[in-house]
Amino acid sequence: MLGVFVLMIAVPAVATERASAKFVFTNFNTDNGAGIHSHVYIFLLGLLMSQYTLLGYDASAHMTEETKNADKNGPIGIISAIGISIVVGWGYILGVTFAVKDIPSLLSPDNEAGGYAIAQVFYQAFKSRYGSGVGGIVCLGIVAVAIYFCGMSSVTSNSRMAYAFSRDGAMPLSSVWHKVNEHEVPINAVWLSAFVSLCMALPSLGSLVAFQAMVSIATIGLYIAYALPIFFRVTLARKHFVPGPFNLGRYGVLVGWVAVLWVVTITVLFSLPVMYPVTRDTLNYTPVAVGGLFILVLTSWVVSARHWFKGPVTNLSG
């Protein structure tokens, strides 16, 4: 958190040339090398960055078994995570974009950062002020530390999901993954999550297209997973759903429908091409990948799981 505040203040403060407010809030980069020139299309694709960012707040729900007063603090954690991400993320984006004037140069593969725009912004800001881009490299170090903590929280959250699924008998080798150590940590599930994360990252070394498809699957898959229980809450369970102590009252159904419709919208957006002309290397494989995964899961349920999976296993008596 401290690093993000350092970046949002230091980068625009150090930059010798700053963009105007008109440029930051109204300029559309039609000279993007991606063959996309429509302002509306650029705006819609731009929404996806926020969707990548406002993700993972379900970790508060997965950690509720290790949370005091989880029926209240779980939802508060989710709302807090979203609120902080919106405010701090908005400030960070503004700090970076006010330090940008020449967008094509940031995206050029011939620049010092090899076309990685954010790295080039950091490097260029410090080099213009001090004649050296070392400060920009330090900024990248801050980003690397932040990414490390994001990865750690993701592994933690994922390991608790693996633990919960295995406790309910829904994972292969369930008896292995739901074991906990003397600190009551599902250590086997943690190592499983770390290993799977490593395996999913390896394709990026050989095929960026394959890695981007996996990222899109994960993002869309999570949002669909968020939307399904909300959808059933506002439809099938509308009359007999029992709300917890932290709820939206009479606005719950309205907010629920807005959430479902928004997830449908961004699922379509995530499936659109992000580069033209569309070729084998630029095709957005997300619809194919998500559709294939959906068919695989549905087939597994129809053929096998529906015959033996009875739902979550309660560990409460009385």
Closest by CA position to 13, among listed 119, 106, 139: 139
Answer yes or no: is 201 within a domain: no
List, in order, residues 6 or more apart from 248 with CB less than 8 Å away.
Answer: 255
Answer yes or no: is 273 within a domain: yes
Which pTM was predicted?
Answer: 0.80
Distance between CA atoms of residues 29 and 21, nearest Å: 15
Distance between CA atoms of residues 226 and 224, nearest Å: 5
Domain range for residue 287? 207-306
Answer yes or no: is 213 within a domain: yes
Burial of 273 (0-12, 13-18, 19+ CB in 10 A): middle
List, in order, residues 6 or more apart from 79 with CB less than 8 Å away.
Answer: none
Supply the pLDDT for residue 139: 93
CB-CB contact of 187 with 94 (8 Å): no
Cis peptide, bond prior to residue 172, ω within 30 of zero: no
CB-CB contact of 162 with 192 (8 Å): yes
Reduce the DSSP state of residue 269 to 3 states and report it.
helix
List, in order, residues 6 or more apart from 44 with CB less than 8 Å away.
Answer: 269, 272
Q: Which two tokens stand for residue 34?
A: 């991606």
Supply the pLDDT for residue 318: 46
List, in order, residues 6 or more apart from 157 with CB less than 8 Å away.
Answer: 56, 58, 59, 62, 63
CB-CB contact of 142 with 6 (8 Å): yes
Sign of CA dihedral 218, 219, 220, 222: positive
CB-CB contact of 45 with 36 (8 Å): yes
Distance between CA atoms of residues 289 and 270, nearest Å: 12
Supply the pLDDT for residue 145: 92
Reduce the DSSP state of residue 316 to 3 states and report it.
coil
CB atoms within 10 A of CB 177: 23
Closest by CA position to 159, among listed 140, 142, 144, 179: 179
Answer yes or no: is 44 within a domain: no
Residue 184's region, left for phi above 0, alpha for psi from -120 to 50, else beta, is left
Query: Based on the structure, what is the number of domains in the chain?
Result: 1
Answer yes or no: is 292 within a domain: yes
307, amino acid identity: H
Answer yes or no: is 9 within a domain: no
Answer yes or no: is 274 within a domain: yes
Answer yes or no: is 248 within a domain: yes
Supply the pLDDT for residue 259: 93
**Residue pLDDT tens, the chain, 318 long:** 788 888 988 999 998 888 899 999 988 888 777 788 888 888 888 888 778 777 777 777 788 778 888 888 888 888 888 888 888 888 888 888 898 888 888 888 888 888 888 899 999 999 989 988 899 999 999 999 988 988 888 898 889 989 988 988 888 898 899 899 998 889 999 999 999 989 888 888 887 777 777 777 777 888 888 899 999 999 998 888 888 888 888 899 999 999 999 999 988 888 888 778 887 777 777 888 888 888 998 999 999 988 888 877 776 554
